[in-house]
Structure 1
Amino acid sequence: FRKIEKMRQFRFRALVIEATEAEAAEGEYRSEIPVKSLFSTLDVLIVRVNLHVLWCGSPAGAARKVESLATQFIEGIKKEGALAFGVSRAVIERGAREHREKIAQRKAAR
């Protein structure tokens, strides 16, 4: 829980899990913690720490989710910064659209 407490300083907190919720419910994980305790602990973290629990199904799914969240976070920071400096919303939206297009091109090239 010490690491969770450190997370309180961040605006967005998430626990990215490289499995499905169904796999966890079946006890398919390395820890010896009982399934009921696992889900109770996650519920506590969701409510008390405002922690988002993201069931991603696989390492690749987790990587995609982290990339997507990072992109959204960066776009939000850009918008906040631009608005603080008086940049119009149209300019912000155009930049965000161009950024999304670049990401789509990179994904298509993979």
Structure 2
Amino acid sequence: MEKQAYATYVKRNKKGKKPPMACCICGEDHSATIENHHVEGKSNSDWTEPLCKNCHAKITAEQNRLSPKERSSESSLQNKRAFGIISIGALLKEIGQHLINLGMGMTVDV
């Protein structure tokens, strides 16, 4: 989350307002861009996390590398486990890249 976005977020929370739902990867909190992402697919789990449309598209694209048959509720236990690992890996990949970018932006020449 950029400095200005974070400052706005903190300011809103100090006023006693309920914090908005925000993307769990990039921190985007504009309500029109937030979607609930089914981490292990709709047919395999009720586990959802809020993601902005951009982060959601990146993670879903990674999940869609498996065919619909391989990630369906009717697939083998092995395929369901593989899909779960891919799904969590895709989330961690995006979080990791965001953290790397954040850290690089924080460096200063001393």
Report the TM-score range of the alignment, normalised by the length of the smaller protein. 0.3 to 0.5
> TM (normalized to structure 2)?
0.33
The structure whose RCO (Cα within 8 Å, separation 6+) is larger is 1
> TM (normalized to structure 1)?
0.33
